[in-house]
Amino acid sequence: MLETVEQETGASPQWSIIWLHGLGADGHDFAPIVPELVRPQWPAIRFVFPHAPKRAVTINNGMPMRAWYDIVSMDFRSRADAAGVAESVAQVEALIKREQERGIPLDHIVLIGFSQGGAITLATGLQRREKLAGLVALSTYLPEVDAAAAQLVDGANTQPVFMAHGTGDPVIPVQVAEHSMQVLKQLGFGVEWHRYPMAHQVCGEEIHALGDWLQARFDA
């Protein structure tokens, strides 16, 4: 089981949000966003911020850092190490199962990821036979995009998706993210898509839009 940082917004949480960080960061990275995101009328939520394992990253001269998979090339169609992606998907599934064991039903679990973490969020979502409340992919792309149709399992495309990206992102070009979004739509996913004038980051307007999207999940 991955080590995690956890925050609960109230007693006896009714919902869980599992939030995956980006390359080289850790579970503390997005914890400060909770007060900005959470609204007073929301149900009690357990936020789970896991630490990715440390691994050598090829494009960073083999330097070990927290990463959900190795990045083996600059080509977004093949840059993600498939074995690393599969390993991380399995680790995320273990976290989802633990939330179930703690009394949170699958339809009250949201999976969020930024950058590499968002890639794992989408890869996990493609392969889920039992749907989550929703998938959130921030400043990211679909790894193994050409294999997405083959990886899709029956019913997975009923999970709602929120995607947002910066138009000036120098790490993952917005066109790459838009292609992933279009592929997801072609596979039948309902995707809410947002673009913001920013780099490889998040912004206040994006967090507000994500809050609206989460509100709709809670209301449903």
Closest CA to 189 of 219, 149, 138: 149
Of the residues 16, 115, 139, 180, only one is catalytic, namely 115
Asked if residue 72 lies in contact with residue 92, where contact means CB atoms within 8 angstroms, the answer is no
Q: In whole angstroms, how large is the CA radius of gyration of the chain?
A: 16
Q: Is 16 labeled as catalytic in the residue annotation?
A: no
Query: In this structure, are residues 47 and 19 in contact, taking their beta carbons and an 8 Å threshold?
Result: yes
Q: Provide the token pair at 65.
A: 């850092």
Phi-psi domain of 110 (left: phi exceeds 0; alpha: psi -120 through 50; beta: other): beta
Q: CB under 8 Å to 179, separation ≥6 — which residues?
A: 141, 145
Q: Is residue 19 within 8 Å of 112, Cβ to Cβ?
A: yes
Is residue 169 flagged as an active site residue?
Answer: yes
165 is catalytic: no
Query: Of 29, 139, 169, 180, which residue is the catalytic one?
Result: 169
**Buried b or exposed e, range 86-110, using 16+ CB within 10 angstroms:** ebbbebbeebbebbeeeebeeebbb
Query: CA angle, 119 as apex, 115 and 120 as ends, to 5°?
Result: 120
- Which amino acids are annotated catalytic? 115, 169, 200
